[in-house]
Amino acid sequence: MPDNALRGKTILVTGGAKNLGGSISRDLAAAGAGVAVHYHSRSDKGLAEDTVAACIAAGGDAFAIEADLTSVAEIRRVLDSVIGRYGSLYATVNTAGLAKGHSMTEVTEDEYDAHFAINAKAAFFVMAETAKRIDDGGKILNFVSSLLAAYTGRYSVYAGSKAPVEHFTRALSKELAGRRVSVNNLAPGPMDTSFFWDAAAPGEDAFSKAQTPYGELTKVEDVVPWVRFLLTDGWWLNGQTVFLNGGFATR
């Protein structure tokens, strides 16, 4: 088995400034990794800087980088900046995403395009450009959604724009097999963060809780350990989507 310790490894976390991404950044830094904390817009700069400070205080190294990942040129700039700073890239953890909850009859063309630009196009090119630069034995981990296994309304565009990432993951895991690079997805259930609350309809939290045997939303702390596992001892998992939701949905 290869050496899977994260100390001294370089990891890019897209959407790494806040919510789940922020917790992942801090946890990986605590394991000794150098973490590139990507954030999307100027409004998140302060949160990104706070996360970088927490990463350094936890014992790792980190820096923040702003970029619009719907631009392939920007994706390339981010990855080249990471390698320029650290000299290599061990893993990319792609948490960036967009979610709005509307019925299909209310979805605008702009909303549709924005979801597919962030959840599908950006994910595709983050994976593809990472694959060109990643170390042999590295890891690519995407976040999708347990709604891919659920029978529900209101999230047609969100779930629909996440669905292609499963196919991208399977294809890339085959293409990188000779380099021992594993490519996987984590699919959390409805999570107790602003990402969920900003999209949820009134009462949706109670409905989501009722769908699990535990009667709870997924918590960030339920998910973060799986990231470290899949970047280390869980390397044998490849081309898969793990539905991490306490029983909210299965497939």
Amino acid identity for residue 214 in this structure: Y
Structure tokens at 203: 């009462």
What are the residue boundaries of the structural domains of the chain, listed by start?
Answer: 10-243
The average pLDDT across 102-119 equals: 96
Mean pLDDT, the chain, integer: 93
Structure tokens at 177: 């097999």
Do 246 and 214 meet the contact criterion of CB atoms below 8 Å apart? yes
Do 39 and 47 meet the contact criterion of CB atoms below 8 Å apart? yes
The average pLDDT across 132-136 equals: 98
pLDDT of residue 4: 53
Separation CA 147–CA 200 (nearest Å): 13
pLDDT of residue 2: 45
pLDDT of residue 153: 87
pLDDT of residue 197: 57
The average pLDDT across 15-37 equals: 97
What is the CATH number that goes with domain 10-243? 3.40.50.720
pLDDT of residue 112: 97
Output the pTM of the full model.
0.93
